[in-house]
Amino acid sequence: MSALIRVENLVRDFDVSKPWLNRVIERLPRAKLRAVADVSFEIEERSVYALVGESGSGKSTIGRIIAGLIPASAGRVVIDGVDIVDQGGPDAVRSELQMIFQDPYASLNPRWKVRDIIAEPVAVRGERTQGLAEKLLEQVGLSATDAGKFPHEFSGGQRQRICIARALASNPKIIICDEPTSALDVSVQSQVLNLMSDLREEMGLTYLFISHDLTVVRHMADRIGVLYLGSLVEEAPRDRLFDAPKHPYTRMLFDAAPRMDAFGREVDPPKGEIPDAINPPPGCPYHPRCPLATQICKEEHPAPRMIGETRVRCHHAE
């Protein structure tokens, strides 16, 4: 098996400075927010790679860089042998890559008919779209007659199916799924997740699955990367990660996630909140909340190291 997507030392900074005039008057320096800090990982063909993390972890930013929606500040993103950061932008791999978004209400143009929405990726390239939308609608479990309707006539789950149909239209190899079910109800979520699993098998798709929901990630992913403040703190195959989490942050996440079998659980909740990404703590970004933290954690950002199949960025993990 070969890596279909290779991300190397990816960095993305956002300029969050105040407007020029305010900076001059208030004598403020330019402010930078490092949303993605030195992230590297590989996604095997026909696998599901999941990025998990809380808000501000940079998981959506990574997805949008790979999709070519925003440029990287540094590093390399190689998709199917083409470096989209260096070699002329994402146009070269555009038809191989598609995306499913979080909000099924905002991701469909309310003024367009479903037929035109689904066929857009093909129509943009000037190719024939006759009957395409109808075929795809049936493939995602809707009816061909829905093609003439407008998005507002559908429920959230049905809209997400339409988004999936649109993503499939250009016959992509890779689909980036950015929180595809977090706006959906549980019973609808299971329908959409099952559909995504089925389509992956049928069409040999590769998914980059971005989510904050550990249960969904555990169900879908083959390999999981855990992000904290833009850093990939731990990466491992699914079972390995859930059976033996190495990084203290991963352990905290697992402990804090609500469980269906934890009636009236009395545990000490985790301490603290995610720090401000504009002024991140020095050294390991997790050290202010970490129970294992020592002096070295405050000074030095740990380099990734392998423990068995797990790659972890922690001075003290073992």
Partner 1 sequence: MSEPVLSVRDLVVEIPTRHGVLRPVDGVSYDIAAGEILGVVGESGAGKSMTGNAVIGLLDRPARIASGEVLLQGQPIHQLQGAALRKLRGRHMGMIFQDPLTSLNPLLTVGDQLTETIQEHLDLSASQAHERAIAALDEVGIPAARQRIDSYPHEFSGGMRQRVVIALALCAEPELIIADEPTTALDVSVQAQIIALLRRLCRERGVAVMLVTHDMGVIAEAADRVAVMYAGRLAELGPVREVVTQARHPYTAGLMASTPVASQGQKRLRQIPGAMPRLDAVPAGCAFHPRCERAQARCRQAPGPTLQACDGRAACWFPITHEQEATL
Partner 2 sequence: MSDHQIEIETRRTPGRLARAWNGDLAYSFRHSPVAMISAFMVALLVLSAVFAPWIAPHNPFDPGSLNLMNGFTPPGEPNAFTGEVFLLGTDDQGRDVFSTILYGMRISLLVGFSAVMLAMVIGVVLGLLAGYLGGWIESVIMRIADIQLTFPAILVAMLIFGVAKGITPPEYRDQMAIYVLILAIGLSDWVQFARVVRGATLVEKNREYVEAARLVGRRPFSIMIRHILPNALNAVLVIATISLALAIIAEATLSFLGVGAPPTKPSLGTLIRIGQGYMFSGEWWILLFPALTLLALALSINLLGDWLRDALNPRLR
| Residues lying near partner 2 in the complex (CB under 8 A) | 64, 67-69, 91, 94, 97-99, 101-103, 106-111, 117, 120-121, 124-125, 150-152, 163, 166, 170
Q: Which of 261, 279, 303, 318 binds partner 1 (CB under 8 A)?
A: 261
Q: What is the smallest separation between the CB atom of 242 and partner 2, expressed in angstroms?
A: 30
Q: Which of 4, 253, 290, 312 binds partner 1 (CB under 8 A)?
A: 253
Q: Which of 63, 90, 151, 157 binds partner 1 (CB under 8 A)?
A: 157
Query: Which option in partner 2, partner 1, none does residue 258 bind, with CB closer than 5 to 8 A by kind?
Result: partner 1
x/- binding map, residues 176-195, to partner 1, per CB under 8 A?
Answer: ---------xxxxxxx-xx-
Q: What is the smallest separation between the CB atom of 232 and partner 1, expressed in angstroms?
A: 18
Q: Measure the CA angle with vertex 243, ends 239 and 248; round to 5°.
A: 115
Alpha carbons within 13 angstroms on the beta-carbon side of residue 223 total 18
Query: Which option in partner 2, partner 1, none does residue 252 bind, with CB closer than 5 to 8 A by kind?
Result: partner 1
x/- binding map, residues 45-64, to partner 1, per CB under 8 A?
Answer: ---------xx---------
Q: What is the smallest separation between the CB atom of 242 and partner 1, expressed in angstroms?
A: 10
CA Rg value for the chain: 21
Nearer Cβ to partner 2 (51/226): 51
Q: What is the smallest separation between the CB atom of 279 and partner 1, expressed in angstroms?
A: 13
Q: Which of 27, 111, 258, 318 binds partner 1 (CB under 8 A)?
A: 258
207 in Cβ contact with 186 (< 8 Å): no
Query: Which option in partner 1, partner 2, none does residue 152 bind, with CB closer than 5 to 8 A by kind?
Result: partner 2
Query: Which option in partner 2, partner 1, none does residue 1 bind, with CB closer than 5 to 8 A by kind?
Result: none
Answer yes or no whether residue 216 interacts with partner 1 by CB under 8 A: yes
Q: Which stretches of the chain bind partner 1, using CB under 8 A?
A: 54-55, 155-158, 185-191, 193-194, 197, 212, 214-216, 218-219, 252-253, 255-265, 267-270, 272-274
